[in-house]
Structure 1
């Protein structure tokens, strides 16, 4: 008897796991933003681990639903879509957090940044110039846009690496 199941699409798995990864990222971000005052904490890199684990689990699920096969391109596509969905969710969360939950957060970060620049011995003109530039990119909308674009770029890079490891191409003459 012939197998009549249709193979699952990369976008279906990517969207599902993108939503799950985005939810986990929101929980982590909320805890980090509300409990840790210093944005330069080493824990901020844990979000990359969350994204990488989400991509790896999505690859595993895709291969399981696709008779154990996944091409390199499918893996990259799946991971990039997943990262974009997760990034949009994270960007919306950032906008809500910085606009409604804690509107003073960005000002506290800017004050901390200013004090660190002064501690490094930068003169007032340099500090003022750097702070003026940083203020242009610190609004809630800019933060949201950078969250989405950053997730897309980082997700693509992580997907390139993980796809090289998890791919299992279907034999050509099958």
Structure 2
């Protein structure tokens, strides 16, 4: 009788890989001073999809060529949580220890964009900046990073698992 491979083992391996990839992307974004560049979001999503595909394919091959939809969803969700923890921990460390001014620069850029739009009053801009500043504390940043990665990873896993899954012809095997 074949032994079932561990979804946790596959998810841990690929979650660590994705976490490191996300750290590198974040580091390049920060060092290039491109925090508002939308292409880094596209790059991040592309990396997430690629790693989800690789992880689910590995699990499927370890499982005799079969993977149920729920197994794929489990691998992808756990993988995303691990990657989110690593990435959020690095981002928080970077923002608090390495470059504490990065958040203020981001707030300044956001203020400039709101002022350039011209459809907001000075009072509205001040209020929006006040709220943004409240959300910039390290604890909230860390929690938002973890949950953001988990939610996006879960949603991407719903899609990827639908394509990677391969059910057994006889479910009683």
What range is the shorter-chain TM-score in? over 0.9
What do you get for the CA RMSD once the two structures are aligned?
1.2
The aligned counterpart of 1:59 is: 56
Contact 2:25 2:40 in 1 (8 A): no
TM-score normalised to structure 2 length: 0.94
| Aligned equivalents of 1:86, 1:38: Cα separation in 2 | 20
User: Equivalent residue of 1:51, what SS?
Assistant: helix
Partner in structure 2 of residue 16 of structure 1: 13
Structure 1 residues 29-38 or 130-139, which shifts more? Answer: 29-38
Confirm or deny: 8 A CA contact 1:94 1:140 kept in the other structure: no
1:38 to partner: Cα distance: 4.1
Q: Could you list the per-position Cα deviations for residues 92-123 of structure 1 after superposition, in whole angstroms to 9, with x for gaps in the alignment?
A: 00111001111100000000101111111121
Q: Tell me, which stretches of 5 or more residues in structure 2 are unaligned?
A: none
**Aligned partners of 2:168, 2:137: CA distance in 1, in Å?**
47
Work out which of the residue numbers 75, 79, 92 in structure 2 matches 1:78.
Answer: 75
CA distance in 1, matches of 2:167, 2:90: 37
User: Could you state the TM-score of these two structures normalised by the residue count of structure 1?
Assistant: 0.94
Runs of 5+ consecutive residues of structure 1 not aligned to the other structure: none
**Equivalent in 35, 39, 44 of residue 41 of structure 2:** 44
Contact in 2 for aligned 1:22/1:90 (Cα 8 Å)? yes
What stretches of structure 1 move > 4 A for 4+ residues in a row?
none
Aligned counterpart for 1:145 among listed residues 118, 143, 163: 143
Alpha-carbon offset, residue 150 of structure 1? 0.4
Equivalent pair of 2:11/2:55 in contact (CA under 8 Å) = yes
**Preserved contact between residue 95 and residue 143 of structure 1 (Cα < 8 Å):** yes
